[in-house]
Chain A
Amino acid sequence: MYKLTGVTKRYTRGKETVEALRGVDLTIEDGDQLVIQGPTGGGKSTLLQMIGGLDRPSEGSVELDGVNLATISEAKLTRLRAEKIGIIFQSFNLIPTLTAQENVETALVPLGVKPAERRERAAEALTSVGLGDRLKHAPSELSGGQQQRVAIARALVKKPKVLLADEPTGNLDEGTRDDIMGLLEGLWHEYGLTFIMVTHDSSIARRAPRLATIKAGQITLTEQGRGNGQFTPQQQYAQHGNQGY
């Protein structure tokens, strides 16, 4: 469970100080899905960085299962990211020189998983997102949608507790967007992940059970229930041939 209390983040550039987050309080239960929406520069990505342990707040606390990410050591924070948090980026952030399988393996390297097991688990993860036949392909040989699937496999191969996605469909066309969202919702549903996603896509935001809107660093929460069911996870899941990841 996440518990954010009075999270404030300030950035200083020269003499100017910008408050990206202003006293944000937020609780996210295990297995919840939360979509964060808001205008550009509103603090969406900053909030995701705090939740993901990628940055520390200037004030306040970010607790994950009782551990304050704002105050633990860098080494512990790094370890926590490696074990518990899977992250998906808007630009996929794949290592261009590595194959799809090797890219997925990078998530297992800090956990000390042996090479043979790494390869096996990476292959399974890629198969689960429909890329079982693209293991040896370099990112440049894959479409945008396929690259994002590789990134999803990389985020999930370590079986994290939390899945964070920063505009995961921002660089994709509408059809591919629906595919990816279907896949993500299916995985969330199946594995009971805590799924937190930043998006500026209103059509996606509307379907989220909980919607957090950030404007000028301040958050407003909206409980939306289960959404309109456009992305029926099970249907999408079946479409993409996920075999039980």
Chain B
Amino acid sequence: MFGIYLKRELSRRKKAALVIAMGLALGIALVITVNSVSAGMNQAQDKVLKSLYGLGTDMTVTKAQSAPKAGTSGGPSFKFGATSSSSSSQSSDRVNTQGGQVLASSLVTKVAAQKGVSSAVGSLTLNVTKVDGSFTQGKAKSTTTSGSSSGSQQGGPGGGGGTSSTGAPQVQGGGANFNVNSYSVAGIDVTNQTLGPLSTSKITSGKTFTASQTNAKVAVVSASYAKSKKYKVGSTFKISSTKFTVIGIATPNSSESTIDVYLPLKQAQTLGDSKNKVTTIYVKATDSKQISAVKSTIQKNISGTTVTTSADLASTVSGSLSTASNLATSVGKWLSIAVLVAAFLVAALLTSSAVSRRVREFGTLKALGWPSRKVTRQVVGESMVNGLIGGGLGIALGLAAAYTVTAISPKLTAQLGSTGGGGQGGPGGGQGGPGQQATQNTLEIALNAPVSLTTIALAVGLAVTGGLIAGAMGGWRASRMRPADALRSVS
């Protein structure tokens, strides 16, 4: 009887049932969407951090910030020689360490020896600014004027009565046409590539460095840089007159790579005039739960360094990813709660109202000897079914929304302040050259909205809760009805 009665009642009040179910569905769909988008944000942030740190890297050690020395401009300068030829092409590379803050290579061994450190590798990140183009010399020309003036002519060498004179020489034409190209270079420890900047990428063409290529003139370039420069495996290029051969193309595991060219560490040190120097030490801890303790140990034992963990890094993420993440976790969460509360309230009021309209019906059942618990069970049962229908609809809506977000994959940018490159950018605006590049990494991440089983379970739980709340309110009203109400003639 319970099932038949329930089915018939829901069929009779389809519209009301649908309104209740849709209200709950909306709330539940919102919860699923917000949850899945939040999960997507977290995944995106993880990707950002991993793309910067590399899988397995728990923290980085960089040189502590120091104020720029007085009298140093910090900006790059370029030297171009003047030639006698009328037009000449010239090129100059300005190589400087990213952030201008370097550590001694010996610190890598010292860091590796710290308690709780599993392994450590050093990396030197360089910014290369290549300026190439040509000067065209201006030409000096004398001007000749003609006239019949009898007086002397200004600027002329004198002499009257002549019919012509020669003016002062003027420079005409000339100028410069230069292209400026900046890219980043990372010198990596080829003997341990599981840590460090190259660990975030996968070699998709050619091969990576061998352990013996510690000082070889070979390079691995990022896929995007290779594409822009039309480099292939076997191509060659020069940095400050040193010729390198491309042996591999690396595709980052996520989004864009912040490094364009990877070189053996020694080569990078030579280019950057930073012998036995590194900008970043990548550290893997023996226990991921002890990262904080390891960080303290390193900071305590090795002065003048800054230790950055992924947690520290996460707090420096800004840009649309950060904004969207904040929106999802704050506004989204409260919006979901507000809609859910409203949906629960509407469901409870509608159920209560439906019970009020069925006073005579429930009164009759009580007069026939139905105990209150049976009447209440009937009302709660109907509400539960409404809740479950709402839950089903909500899950469908939520999945559709999450699928749509994933299908559209909106691009979010993540900006990080000082990161693995170490150190903040120096003061910019050197005379005659471009400002020194600040070490802010901008990454683009496609947002996904994964729906986990936990989220689905949460949705089902909310549906049941919604049904129970509405049913409890309606059931409470029904249980309080007197059987004498059945004798009321009004319906």
Contacts and interface: CB of A to CB of B under 8 A. Distances in A.
Interface string A48-87: 1100101100000000000000000011001101110101
Contact of A78 (B364, B369, B491): B369
Interface in B4-41: 4-5, 8-9, 11-12
B483 A54 contact: yes
Interface string B452-491: 0000000000000000000000000000001110110101
Nearest to B12: A97
Contacts of B361: 93, 95-96
Interface residues of B, number: 26
A124 interface: no
A185 interface: no
Interface stretch (A24-32, A103-111, A200-208): A103-111
B489 A96 contact: no
B368 A54 contact: no
B67 interface: no
B367 A87 contact: yes
A102 B1 CA distance: 8
A79 B371 CA distance: 8
Interface centre among B1, B4, B369 (most CB of A within 10 A): B369
Contacts of B374: 109-110
A74 B370 CA distance: 11
A148 interface: no
Nearest to B363: A93
A115 B489 CA distance: 31
B15 to A, nearest CB: 15
A241 B374 CA distance: 36
Nearest to A102: B4
Nearest to A167: B489
B17 to A, nearest CB: 13
Contact of A109 (B11, B370, B487): B370
A106 B484 contact: no
B486 A93 contact: yes
B484 A107 contact: no
B12 A96 contact: yes
A41 B8 CA distance: 36
A78 B482 CA distance: 11
A154 B369 CA distance: 12
Please tell me the size bucket of the interface on A.
20 to 34
A109 B360 CA distance: 18
Contacts of A1: none
Contacts of B295: none
A234 interface: no
B368 A82 contact: yes
Given A95-B361, A97-B11, A106 B367 contact: no
A236 interface: no
B27 to A, nearest CB: 28
A115 B1 contact: yes
A110 B370 contact: yes
A105 B486 contact: no
A185 to B, nearest CB: 22
A90 B482 CA distance: 18
A83 B368 CA distance: 9
Contact of A110 (B5, B360, B369, B486): B369
Contacts of B9: 97
Interface centre among B364, B371, B489 (most CB of A within 10 A): B364
Nearest to B489: A91
A9 B281 CA distance: 91
A154 B368 contact: yes
B412 interface: no
B365 interface: yes
A93 B365 CA distance: 9
Nearest to B369: A82
Contacts of B491: 91
Nearest to B7: A97
A51 B372 CA distance: 20
Interface in B350-382: 360-361, 364-372, 374
Nearest to A83: B369
A97 B369 contact: no
B381 to A, nearest CB: 14
A154 B365 CA distance: 11
A87 B366 CA distance: 11
Nearest to B485: A54
A161 to B, nearest CB: 13
Given A49-B487, A54-B487, A90-B489, A105 B1 contact: yes
A172 interface: no
Given A45-B487, A49-B484, 8 more contacts: A54-B482, A55-B483, A81-B367, A82-B369, A95-B361, A106-B365, A106-B370, A110-B374
7 contacts: A49-B487, A55-B482, A78-B371, A87-B486, A93-B361, A96-B12, A166-B487
8 interchain residue pairs of minimum CB distance: A82-B369, A97-B8, A110-B369, A93-B364, A81-B369, A54-B484, A54-B483, A55-B484
Interface of B: 1, 4-5, 8-9, 11-12, 360-361, 364-372, 374, 482-484, 486-487, 489, 491
